[in-house]
Structure 1
């Protein structure tokens, strides 16, 4: 299992690399200034981090209250994922529309672009990270 220092390195390198990639790609794809996409990316990343914490805490508390446990079946995990993404979209789409001076439909397209980017990026980044920094064998930590 990975240790705390490794997890911190992973989180920081994940976010910085994503911002370095998505900012120019988003600017090029949508024709917005790099600074605007960069600001939106940083703010979106911060909001997503806070939303992740708050949503997961609330979801687990609700499960504990209603079911008496927090074990997630496949169906509950699917619902968790969909509700998380819908909630984040409800937060980020109006923000993107306001900040970029565009309509909600265009902002939704920008949001979909970010979601698809992060799904592909997370898969590739995590795979590469595991190759460069293999998970230590046994109970030891790095």
Structure 2
């Protein structure tokens, strides 16, 4: 809703506002949701929600959980897959528990593709999704 009237949006607000996500409670200081989308589509949705203004994005494509961690200057989103279901843990960085911070700190690989997409979104490049699709095909 805030997005429609031009106010800045957080990842947590996006998750609360969208029918893609179902609340599942809290874990280690973050709100937990299931997503009706796969991890990459979920990440793209959250990048779009914050207009590409991310601090960094980490990804571990080799793990069974397919971890994606998106950081803004104030928020964090941890996306994973468990038993075929995409989960999103989202909230303010200041609410992140030490154990959760330690867990996600092990995900060290920058996601060059998602970071490039975020940069295009931030620059208001309307070809962002098309470019992302071409990058993935190559």
The structure that is strand-richer by fraction is 2
Which structure has the bigger radius of gyration?
1
TM-score, normalized by the shorter chain, greater than 0.5 = no
Q: Which has the higher helix share?
A: 1
Q: TM-score, normalised on structure 1?
A: 0.27
